[in-house]
Structure 1
Amino acid sequence: MSLINTEIKPFKATAFQNGEFIEVTEADLKGKWSVVVFYPADFTFVCPTELEDLANHYEAFKKIDTEIYSVSTDTHFSHKAWHDTSEAIGKIQFPMIGDPNGVVTNNFGVMREGQGLADRGTFVIDPQGVIQLVEVTCEGVGRDAGELLRKVKAAQYVAAHPGEVCPAKWQEGEKTLKPSLDLVGKI
């Protein structure tokens, strides 16, 4: 079942952020746009490349009032150790949620059955706590933070402009579409 247009489920977890352990709940994901990025495990191969890419784009996400949360089934202690020992992960300023009990991962439907690891899932959540975008890829395929930023901007535009949609490869400031009978068969 798709999670698109469903409200996020309650959770409470501990995250590592900026040298501290913090509590994160579903309430923290409301009131602004949020991106929740699940990855299989700390100290792996593709995961640090993705998280570093997100860290490199973090200021651009903050400029559009969007917070990033990374999540794996590792503990917040593991996140701290990885942050302290990896140059790539050391760049991260967004919350790194530890989910060893799997509540958050299961809430978003990306737990690998019988493995205790998250699939590589991405969720964009609007300020009301409603999931607007879901993307899940196989373990060997990394995500692109620049493309994710484009998708968040498109979701924000559509939310702010009812009756308009963003076509493929839409970039901020470009022309959108207004679906109507007049457009049928003309695109």
Structure 2
Amino acid sequence: MLTIGDRFPNYKLKATVGTDLENGFADLENASFEGKWQLVFFYPKDFTFVCPTEIKAYSDLADEFADRDCVVLAASTDTEFVHLAWRNSHDDLRDLKIPMLADVKRELSGALGILHPEEGVAMRATYLVDPQGIIRHVSVTDMNVGRNAKETLRILDALQSDELCPCNWQPGDDHLKAA
């Protein structure tokens, strides 16, 4: 599995960006977000139970991430058409502010090393990637355990502070001073 300090793999994927068949898709790639931080979070499957709670939580914070020059991208191994059908059938997903990447050929999830060995789907992995394409944070949780979108935002704030941040540091708290 790729980790801190590794270069995030190049990708070019279809993404679901809306709810209509005619204008609901886009091609997205690393170059689409040049000079920006990227939060790329993978979830196992569409039409499941934990995943929509996470997708909605990250979408709800999309403006706060954008204030920090960070784009938020959800990703799974489902197709863009399955993403579209799920968005149109799930009340919490209709008005998403974030794209849903379709890693159908499992190229990105495979390059990251996050394919579940038995299920063949992406594990619940979260990556914060700096503007130079370097992974600065990664976490992976059990398939049944959702993550905390506000904690990811806090970690981004800590990374962008470029300072020593103690345990439980919050924006506005003092940073540690090296002796």
TM-score of the superposed pair, with normalisation by structure 2: 0.92
Distance 1:29 1:3, change over 3 A: farther
Q: CA deviation at 1:29?
A: 4.3
Contact 1:11–1:26 (CA<8 Å) still a contact in 2? yes
Unaligned runs of 5+ in 1: 159-163, 183-187
Q: CA deviation at 1:113?
A: 2.2
Q: CA deviation at 1:2?
A: 4.7
C-alpha distance in 2 between matches for 1:17 and 1:83: 10
The structure whose Rg is larger is: 1
Counting aligned pairs with the same residue, the percent is 37
C-alpha distance in 2 between matches for 1:64 and 1:117: 30
What number of residue pairs does the alignment pair up?
A: 175
Q: How do residues 31-180 of structure 1 correspond to structure 2 at under 5 angstroms? A: 31-158=35-162, 164-179=163-178
The code of the aligned residue for 2:75 comes to V
Question: Which stretch shifts more, 28-37 or 68-77?
Answer: 28-37
Q: How do residues 16-31 of structure 1 correspond to structure 2 at under 5 angstroms? A: 16-19=16-19, 20-31=24-35
Q: CA deviation at 1:149?
A: 0.6
Contact 1:10–1:25 (CA<8 Å) still a contact in 2? yes
Give the secondary structure class of the aligned counterpart of 2:94: helix
Which residue is 2:13 aligned to? Answer: 13
Unaligned runs of 5+ in 2: none
TM-score of the superposed pair, with normalisation by structure 1: 0.88
* Structure 1 residue ranges, 4+ long, deviating more than 6 angstroms after superposition: none
